[in-house]
Amino acid sequence: MNVLLSAVQIQERIDALAKVVAADYRDHPLSIVGVLTGSLMFLADLVRRLDLPLRIGFIQASSYRGEATRPGELRLGPEIFSDVRDRHVLLLDDILDTGHTLVGLKARFSQLGPKSVKVGVLLRKIGRQEVAIEPDYVGFEIPDAFVVGYGLDFNDEYRNLPYIAKLDGPDDAAKAAS
């Protein structure tokens, strides 16, 4: 595996994003909804840097299952969030790949009566988007590569890595596991 973003780079960028988010939502009711499971690390580190009154919730959405490295059909799981009516919603995801997941989720939340729905992603893959969506907050733009670490997985492994690395294929997965 080749490290694309070190743990230090990630934390420094989250510091910068937190300052922008805090300024944008100062004195506004905010609900942050993380897309499970990939956004967990990003959400946890971001909210610890926000000195705002906020609610935290989650929704499970997945288009990658098992050993897949290409997205399949979007599946939504249980929702764990409180009422977002008349609140600003910040939808956080680990990565903007094709965009289908975020377009669907943004439309779904927009129907729940929020004041606004914005999108934040830790990573944005260049050259992969199939649908039009422009995230409001982007941590890093990365090349079209399959990445793991800091919440991102391959077959439910590697989420715990403090950095983000390019996973080239099964040989990399076997080496990383040993």
Looking at this protein, which amino acid is placed at residue 33? V
Pairing of strands 54-62, 75-80: antiparallel
Is 97 designated active site?
yes
Give me the catalytic one of 45, 94, 97, 153: 97
Residues annotated as catalytic are 97
